[in-house]
Structure 1
Amino acid sequence: MAALAGLLECLLWPTRKDEEAEKEEEAGAQGPQSLLAAPRCSQRPHGGVAASSGLRFGASAAQGWRTHMEDAHCAWLSLPGLPPGWAFFAILDGHGGARVARFGARHLPGHVLEELGPAPSEPEGVSQALRRAFLNADERLRSLWPRGEPGGSTAVVLLVSPRFLYLAHCGDSRAVLSRAGAVAFSTQDHRPLRLRERERIYHAGGTIRRRRVEGSLAVSRALGDFAYKAAPGRPPELQLISAEPEVAALARHTEDEFVLLASDGVWDVMSGAALVGLVALRLRLDLAPELLCAQLLDTCLCKGSLDNMTCIVVCFPGAPRACEEAIRREHALDTALGRRVAELCASAQEPPSLNTVFRTLASEDILDLPPGGGLHCKAAVIAEAYSQLFQASEECWEKGQDGAGKPSSTHLNSALNLEA
């Protein structure tokens, strides 16, 4: 992990930092958000299985380059008072602090359960219950913040029943459904320039400047943000910023594979199609969903995401299974990358930096790289090979093994336990 952090620190920094500052300035924000000198890559992946329904999930989160972690999430594989087969998952991405996101992760499931009742009618009754639950949670939060403290949070929710998948969201955290190997559905971000959003903002007496509500908020729906919910005589769902979610009810199919939910730090650098391809391949490698999520976030960090990131992968019985051929090809790729790292180090007149090694590999035509992630998906493998190599061959660099004051590729391959 330390090697990966070092690679991330120099790979796209400070170039990306400058780009981010320029983007914030163009968007009219009060100033670029503070970024760390090096990313915080540590994660605590976790997951679970519901044997009765064949449902399994994995989740992970990374603070990344931001000075504070403002994401929160929750996962319930069973719901009290409802039959087996119901489950609830949510990701909340805070802005102006983490308080709203943490509140949502803790209390939104309870509001959903309260609105569903013991015998929810599907699909319309459940869809309406989700809408009411979001608005009720927002009103409860307002009662706890009588002075209207700043801060808000986007939210994306997956509610699973034996017959339907319900996706509810407000803001720019997204979800995508993979069915039969392709994107079957994806949520759409709530941005001020979307027609329905723009009309609501204008009718509530608001303005849109630099593609932001009142020149400040980049999303047009969120929990919290009560300073934008004070237009007199208008219900909560018609304020400048609304907590009303957009809800999609999708009938389940045997071809349903998985749903991926993620905060916008993931979507900043990966498309829905790329993520579906990458997740499907990692499942064929027999990777546990929680480890898959951790790898996905590492990939997004390496691809240049500067935001907090959280992702949840919920797998259904039709999800891709372990494939011996995919596992064999992945092992061969890792071995080839390790050998190439050794060759690059052996051919250099002095020890190359990890950044130099990665950029050299990125310029080469390497077969069987993962879809979507490409070489960035193998950054941890490259960083680990580099770290192991120099730990094992420090003395070799000092004395030389081939009479030329540098290690031979044979010795370096041996240090990585690779065949010559």
Structure 2
Amino acid sequence: MAGFVRLLVSGAERMVSRFFKTEQEEAVEAPSFFLEAPRTEKLLEQGALGGLRYGLGSMQGWRAHMEDAHTAQLQLPGALAGWAFFAVYDGHAGSTVAHFCAQHLLGHVLEAAALSGPAEEEDPQAVKEALRQAFLALDTRMQALSQAEAWERAGSTAVAVLLSPRHFYFANLGDSRALLCRSATVAFSTQDHKPSKPRERERIEDAGGTVTLQRVNGSLAVSRALGDFDYKAVAWRGQTEQLVSPEPEVEQLARCPANDEFLVLACDGVWDTFDNSGLCAFVHSRLSLSGDPQDVCERLLDACLYKGSRDNMTCIVVCFPAAPGVSQEALQKERELDAYLEERVAEIYDELLQQEEGPSLIGVFQSLATDVNPSLPPGGGLASKRAVIMEAYGRVKQSRGEQQPSVREAAAAPSAGV
């Protein structure tokens, strides 16, 4: 029942999103906002340096265009050789701003005087201010370029983590999000910037705007972003007092090497289907199967797609020495779960044969969704085992001398109440 409710809510959100598209989206993505079938090819990256490992995954999904971008740099230049920088940018109404940010934000950060001295002289307050100023300087630069070069009327959210030997520096703008997992729990997460939040609403209304349908002027779903210069044209207001602000919230957290396990940075296409604790648990459990952050990103994107995400999806998982490694116990439990699901699929198939409508892949998923199974991946649930279920269903049909699932039948399965 819970899965069915989620399906109804997801459908309602899609209808609202289509009806209240921004003018930019109408101009750029008309006539089709979504594809007829998702694009599931993935961009995958990985890297390692010292005790730091990262994996990255990005997938277009159901959206008509891919508008995400990212930055992953394990080692910064010069005196900052022990520092790293990771960021995810989620463009809307076009990809120009997101890609420009991916190419240039880090450069603006590195220009700060606070980052030019010896590492042992690190001043957390100065570093935080340097990050804030980098976002503002980049936005000013892009505004001039957008006018001179007639850019599309696009914008982008951003979430970035600057990692020093002693501190995490989180900077976020919009509804992309980062979290830190420490000792298997969420130790910190950034907060989304939504127009309905009191502080955001106050700024919007002070600038002469409104918050309607939880959107800026009934159109834009985030209250802070880079770009979106149509919302930054109130002449009597400063840069950070506009309808949409380019000012990030910057937080600093001391590192705890014995307990820090991993960071996750992701756009809202991921957070649409996972909450903080669910995502932390999912990544933790999947690391215990492979120990590979790139593999975890790939699994996470598939789980998001099959849990109902209709957006572009990008995630970065950064692992520290305390991150979970491969566990033989976890591998054995996963094998047992897969064997159980294969057996249940065969049982359900035979049960459905006795019913008038007959067996179907959707019917199998719906029946599995009613089972109470604590062994399913935490946070991911049944959707994260879709590949196993699909393969089992195909083998059952083959053993019964029937045709394999059709493309239409397979495409419908993710939304079958899971």
Q: Smaller-chain TM-score range?
A: 0.7 to 0.9
Runs of 4 or more, structure 1, over 4 Å off, are 11-18, 25-33
Q: Which moves more between the two structures, 258-267 or 351-360?
A: 351-360
Kindly indicate whether the alpha-carbon contact (under 8 Å) linking 2:80 and 2:115 is maintained by their aligned counterparts in 1.
Answer: no
Classify the secondary structure of the residue corresponding to 1:190: coil
2:116: which partner in 1?
Answer: 118
Q: What is the CA distance between 1:14 and its match in structure 2?
A: 9.6
Contact 2:7–2:308 (8 Å) recurs in 1: no
Matched, 1:19 2:23: no
Measure the CA separation in 1 of the matches of 2:71 and 2:111: 17
The partner residue of 1:109 within 106, 111, 134 is 106
What is the correspondence of 1:138-287 to structure 2 with a 5 Å cutoff?
Answer: 138-146=139-147, 147=150, 149-253=152-256, 254-287=258-291
1:340 CA drift (Å): 2.4
Instruction: Report if aligned partners of 1:149, 1:226 keep a CA contact under 8 Å in 2.
Output: no
Aligned to 1:407: none
Do the aligned partners of residues 17 and 176 (structure 1) sit closer, same or farther apart at CA in structure 2, a change above 3 Å counting? closer
The alpha-carbon distance between structure 1 residues 12 and 288, as it changes in their structure 2 partners (threshold 3 A), is farther
**Aligned ranges 1:14-413 → 2 under 5 Å:** 18-24=11-17, 34-51=33-50, 54-115=51-112, 116-119=114-117, 121-146=122-147, 147=150, 149-253=152-256, 254-346=258-350, 349=353, 352-387=359-394, 390=397, 393=399, 396-397=401-402
Kindly state the Cα deviation for residue 271 of structure 1 after the two structures are TM-superposed: 0.5
SS at match of 1:218: coil
The CA deviation string for residues 74-97 of structure 1, in whole angstroms up to 9 with x for no partner, is 210111123443111110011111
Structure 2 unmatched ranges of 5 or more: 404-418
| Worse overlay, 146-155 or 87-96 | 146-155
Q: Cα 1:208–1:348, aligned 2, differ >3 Å: closer, same or farther?
A: closer
SS of 2:295's partner is: helix
Q: Is the 8 A contact 2:57 2:316 kept in 1?
A: yes
Local SS of the residue matching 1:144: helix
Distance, in Å, in 2 between the alignment partners of 1:109 and 1:279 is: 27
| Paired-residue identity, % | 50
Mean Cα deviation higher: 154-163 or 319-328: 319-328
How many matched pairs?
Answer: 384
Equivalent-residue separation in structure 2 for 1:337 and 1:387 (angstroms): 13
Give the partner amino acid of 1:224.
Answer: G
Q: Which amino acid aligns with 1:36?
A: L
Amino acid at match of 1:379: R
Tell me if the contact between 1:16 and 1:304 (Cα under 8 Å) persists in the aligned partners: no
Secondary structure class of the residue paired with 1:41: strand
Distance 1:107 1:86 in 2: 17
Contact between 1:142 and 1:148, CA under 8 Å: does it hold in 2? Answer: no
- Identify which range, 205-214 or 167-176, moves more after superposition: 205-214
In structure 2, relative to structure 1, the CA distance for the partners of 1:366 and 1:95 (3 Å cut) is same
Tell me, in whole angstroms, the C-alpha distance in 2 between the residues paired with 1:20 and 1:35.
14
- SS in structure 2 of the partner of residue 280 of structure 1: helix
Shift of 1:15: 6.4
TM-score, length of structure 2 as denominator length: 0.85
| CA deviations over 1:122-180 (Å, ceiling 9, x no partner) | 21111011111111111121121115641100000011110000110100001111111
1:248-296 deviation per Cα after TM superposition (whole angstroms, max 9, x unaligned): 1000012111111110111111100000111111111124101101111
Tell me the TM-score normalised to structure 1 length. 0.85
Rounded to whole Å, the distance in 1 between the matches of 2:247 and 2:6 is: 38
Stretches of structure 1 that go unaligned for 5 or more consecutive residues are 1-10, 399-420
Structure number with bigger Rg? 1
- Hey, what's the Cα distance between the residues in 1 that align with 2:82 and 2:394? 45
Give the Cα separation in 2 of the matches to 1:298 and 1:249.
32
